[in-house]
């Protein structure tokens, strides 16, 4: 069998137990595409569909029912031989996790995450990768264990959990020569802007909303990340639109001011 390992067998067993590729993926913490790929490998090996769709879910074929018994016994034997621990214990774990993050997540979430890991899992190493258009594929293949960021484009098959919700604010330098205590739509349209051209995240919804409402925006700078844009805004008279949590952190540094985005997102 191509790449037959305990992971493939556990995927089969979970599909057999839940009668659903989607529920199996959720229970195993995998993306639905990854589970479908694994099922395809098993089907090619046995030259049988193994499971067929019915009104009651994914029912095993005759071959699938026979295989299920053997796989259950095989998993039990392999786990016993490998000294399998059913429960992950971070205190004794010695492994690395690959986490895809935006530059915002690295600033807002990573310090607290790392501080907690150092207390609860001192043997765990975190490898941070940049969130990009390749992140979904890396999650499917297992090259990335987790992704943190705003990614509404991910397929429904990926297990996802909302950590918090936030709006956007417009940042200007603390000594901006024209923007004072207020910032309205006319200010937004008359000032020059720095624009963040992220890939693989959902922050392009700001650009889409500006285009949908036909708001004029004079773009003077395009940069690939938010932190670079904020650094420029602190030292110039440009404006940048950023998520509110990043805005709060930047305002606390004392080099810029935040204003509510002067237009509402249309639902």
Query: What is the signed CA dihedral for 199, 205, 206, 210, rounded to 10 degrees?
Result: 120
> For residue 3, what pLDDT band results from cuts at 50, 70 and 90?
very low
3-state secondary structure 36-47: HHHHHHHHHHHC
The yes-or-no verdict on residue 182 having pLDDT over 90 is yes
Q: What's the mean pLDDT in 181-197? A: 95
> Is the confidence at residue 79, as pLDDT, over 80?
no
In this prediction, residue 179 has a pLDDT band, given cuts at 50, 70 and 90, of very high
- Between residues 136 and 49, which one has the greater pLDDT? 49
Structure token digits, residue 20: 């659903």
Tell me which residue of 76, 75, 43, 45 sits closest to 58, measured CA to CA.
43
* Overall average pLDDT of the 103-126 stretch: 91
- Confidence band for 163, pLDDT divided at 50, 70 and 90: confident
- For residue 234, pLDDT over 50 is answered with yes
Which of 58-72, 110-124, 195-209 comes out lowest in average pLDDT? 195-209
Burial tier of 51 (Cβ tally within 10 Å: 0-12, 13-18, 19+): buried
CATH 3.40.190.10, domain 87-165, yes or no: yes
Give the span between the Cα atoms of 92 and 189, in whole angstroms: 56
H or E stretch at 249: helix 244-252
pLDDT of residue 264: 78
Q: Is the pLDDT assigned to residue 5 strictly greater than 80? A: no
Q: How high does pLDDT run on average in the chain?
A: 86
- Residue matched to tokens 């979970």: 14
User: Treating both helix axes as pointing N-terminal to C-terminal, what angle do 32-46 and 6-18 enclose, rounded to 10 degrees?
Assistant: 100
Q: Does domain 168-260 have CATH number 3.40.190.10?
A: yes
40-54, 72-86, 95-109: least confidently modelled range: 72-86
Quick one: tokens of 258? 């935040």
Closest CA to 198 of 174, 222, 171: 222
pLDDT at 170 over 70: yes
Domain 87-165 in the same topology as domain 6-81: no
Tell me the percentage of the chain whose pLDDT exceeds 70.
Answer: 91
* Averaged pLDDT for residues 108-134: 90
Mean pLDDT value across residues 230-245: 94
- pTM score, two decimals? 0.61
CATH architecture of 6-81: Orthogonal Bundle (1.10)
List beta partners, residue 260.
Answer: 169
Q: Exposed (0-12), middle (13-18) or buried (19+): which is 79, by Cβ within 10 Å?
A: middle
pLDDT score recorded for residue 265: 67
Which whole number is the average pLDDT over 201-214?
Answer: 84
Buried b vs exposed e over 215-232: b needs ≥16 C-beta within 10 Å?
Answer: eebeeebebebbbebbbb
For the chain, the helix, strand and coil percentages under 3-state DSSP, each to the nearest 5:
40, 20, 40
What does DSSP assign to residue 199?
Answer: S
Residue 240 main-chain phi, psi, to 5 deg:
-135, 140
> Is the separation of the CB atoms in 15 and 39 below 8 Å?
yes
The answer to whether the beta carbons of residues 104 and 163 sit under 8 Å apart is no
pLDDT band (50, 70, 90) for residue 1: very low
Domain boundaries, the chain: 6-81, 87-165, 168-260
């Amino acid at each position: 069998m191509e790449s037959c390992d305990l992971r493939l067998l556990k995927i089969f067993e979970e599909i057999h137990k839940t009668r659903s590729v989607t529920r199996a993926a959720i229970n195993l913490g995998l993306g639905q595409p990854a589970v479908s790929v694994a099922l395809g490998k098993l089907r090619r090996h046995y030259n049988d569909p193994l499971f067929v769709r019915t009104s009651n879910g994914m029912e095993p074929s005759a071959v699938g029912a026979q295989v299920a018994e053997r796989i259950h016994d095989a998993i039990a034997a392999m786990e016993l031989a490998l000294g399998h621990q059913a429960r992950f214990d971070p205190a004794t774990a010695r492994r690395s996790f690959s986490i895809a993050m935006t530059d915002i997540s690295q600033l807002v979430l990573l310090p607290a995450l790392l501080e907690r890991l150092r207390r609860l899992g001192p043997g765990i190493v975190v490898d941070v990768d940049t969130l990009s258009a390749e992140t979904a594929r890396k999650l499917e293949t297992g090259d990335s264990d987790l992704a943190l960021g705003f990614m509404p484009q991910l397929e429904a098959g990926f297990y996802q959990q909302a950590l918090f919700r936030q709006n956007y604010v417009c940042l200007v330098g603390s000594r901006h020569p024209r923007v004072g205590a207020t910032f309205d739509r006319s200010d937004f349209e008359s000032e020059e802007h720095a624009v963040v051209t992220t890939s693989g995240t959902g922050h392009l919804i700001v650009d889409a909303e500006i285009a949908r409402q036909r708001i004029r925006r004079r773009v003077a700078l395009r940069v690939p990340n938010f932190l670079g844009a904020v650094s420029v805004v602190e030292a110039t008279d440009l404006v940048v639109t950023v998520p509110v949590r990043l805005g709060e952190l930047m305002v606390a540094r004392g080099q810029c001011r935040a204003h509510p985005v002067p237009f509402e997102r249309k639902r």
